[in-house]
Chain A
Amino acid sequence: MEWIFYTLAFLIATALSGSAVYALYWSSKHGQLRDFERGARSIFDDEEPVGRMTDHFPAKRPKGP
Chain B
Amino acid sequence: MASASSLAASLSPTTPPDVMSRAELSEIDASAKWPVIVFLVSGLVWLLIGTAFALISSIKLHTPEFLGGYEWLTFGRARTAHLNTVIYGWSVNAAFAVAFWLMARLSRTRLRHPGLLLIAGCFWNLGVTIGVIGILAGDSTSIEWLEIPPYATPLLFVAYAFVGIWAVITFRFRKTEHIYVSQWYLLAALFWFPWLYSIAQIMLVFQPARGTVQALVNWWFAHNVLGLWFTPIGLAAAYYFIPKVLGKPIHSYYLSVLGFWSLAIFYNWAGVHHLIGGPVPAWVLSAGIAASLMMVIPVVVTAINHHLTMVGSFGVLRYSPTLRFVVFGAVNYTIVSLIGSAMAIRSVNEITHFTHFTVAHAHQGMYGFFTMVMFGAVYYILPRILLKEWPSAALIRTHFWAAAIGITLYWIDLSIGGWIQGVEMNNASIPFLDVVRHTLPWLWVRSLSGILLTVGHLAFAANVAWMLAAPRAAGATTPTLFQTPPAVPVR
Enumerate chain B residues within 8 angstroms of A41, measured Cβ to Cβ. Answer: 249
Enumerate chain B residues within 8 angstroms of A61, measured Cβ to Cβ. Answer: 319, 483, 485-486
Enumerate chain B residues within 8 angstroms of A19, measured Cβ to Cβ. Answer: 191
Let me know if B181 and A52 touch, CB within 8 A.
Answer: no
Let me know if B261 and A53 touch, CB within 8 A.
Answer: no
Let me know if A64 and B485 touch, CB within 8 A.
Answer: yes
Let me know if B17 and A46 touch, CB within 8 A.
Answer: yes
Residue from the list B379, B396, B489 in contact with A64, Cβ < 8 A = B489
Let me know if A53 and B254 touch, CB within 8 A.
Answer: no
Enumerate chain A residues within 8 angstroms of B207, measured Cβ to Cβ. Answer: 1-2, 5
Q: How far is the CA of A2 from the CA of B213 in the complex (A)?
A: 12
Let me know if B486 and A52 touch, CB within 8 A.
Answer: no
**Which secondary structure dominates chain A's binding surface?**
loop
B208-247 near A? 1/0 per residue, CB < 8 Å: 0110000000000000000000000000000010011111
Let me know if A58 and B178 touch, CB within 8 A.
Answer: no
Does B427 make an interface contact (CB < 8 A)? Answer: no
Let me know if A51 and B487 touch, CB within 8 A.
Answer: yes
Let me know if A53 and B320 touch, CB within 8 A.
Answer: yes
Let me know if B253 and A51 touch, CB within 8 A.
Answer: no
Residue from the list A1, A47, A48, A50 in contact with B249, Cβ < 8 A = A50
Q: How far is the CA of A11 from the CA of B118 in the complex (A)?
A: 33
CB distance from B460 to the nearest CB of A (A): 14
Q: How far is the CA of A6 from the CA of B6 in the complex (A)?
A: 48
Does B433 make an interface contact (CB < 8 A)? Answer: no
Does A38 make an interface contact (CB < 8 A)? Answer: yes
B106, B253, B264: most-surrounded residue (chain A CB, <10 A): B253
Does B316 make an interface contact (CB < 8 A)? Answer: yes
Q: How far is the CA of A38 from the CA of B210 in the complex (A)?
A: 51
Let me know if A51 and B244 touch, CB within 8 A.
Answer: no
Q: How far is the CA of A48 from the CA of B245 in the complex (A)?
A: 10
Q: Which of B129-137, B155-163, B384-392 contacts A (4 or more CB under 8 A)?
A: B384-392
Enumerate chain B residues within 8 angstroms of A42, measured Cβ to Cβ. Answer: 176, 178, 180
Let me know if A53 and B191 touch, CB within 8 A.
Answer: no
Enumerate chain A residues within 8 angstroms of B380, measured Cβ to Cβ. Answer: 54-55
Q: How far is the CA of A32 from the CA of B487 in the complex (A)?
A: 32
Let me know if A52 and B484 touch, CB within 8 A.
Answer: yes
Enumerate chain A residues within 8 angstroms of B203, measured Cβ to Cβ. Answer: 5, 9
Does A29 make an interface contact (CB < 8 A)? Answer: no
Q: How far is the CA of A38 from the CA of B94 in the complex (A)?
A: 30
Let me know if B199 and A52 touch, CB within 8 A.
Answer: no
Let me know if B21 and A46 touch, CB within 8 A.
Answer: yes
Does B302 make an interface contact (CB < 8 A)? Answer: no
Enumerate chain B residues within 8 angstroms of A58, measured Cβ to Cβ. Answer: 389-393, 396
Residue from the list A6, A43, A45 in contact with B180, Cβ < 8 A = A43
CB distance from B471 to the nearest CB of A (A): 15
Q: How far is the CA of A44 from the CA of B51 in the complex (A)?
A: 37
Mark B residues whose CB is within 8 Å of A: 17-18, 20-22, 25, 106, 176, 178-181, 188, 191-192, 195, 199, 202-203, 207, 209-210, 240, 243-250, 252-254, 257, 261, 264, 316, 318-323, 379-380, 389-393, 396-397, 479-480, 482-490
Q: Across chains A and B, which 4 residue pairs bring their CB atoms closest together, nearest first? A: A64-B486, A40-B249, A36-B253, A40-B253
12 contacts between A and B (CB under 8 A): A5-B203, A20-B264, A40-B250, A43-B243, A45-B21, A53-B316, A53-B490, A54-B480, A56-B319, A57-B319, A58-B390, A61-B486
8 additional A-B residue pairs with CB within 8 Å, beyond A48-B247, A53-B246: A39-B253, A40-B250, A43-B106, A47-B22, A48-B480, A55-B322, A58-B393, A59-B389
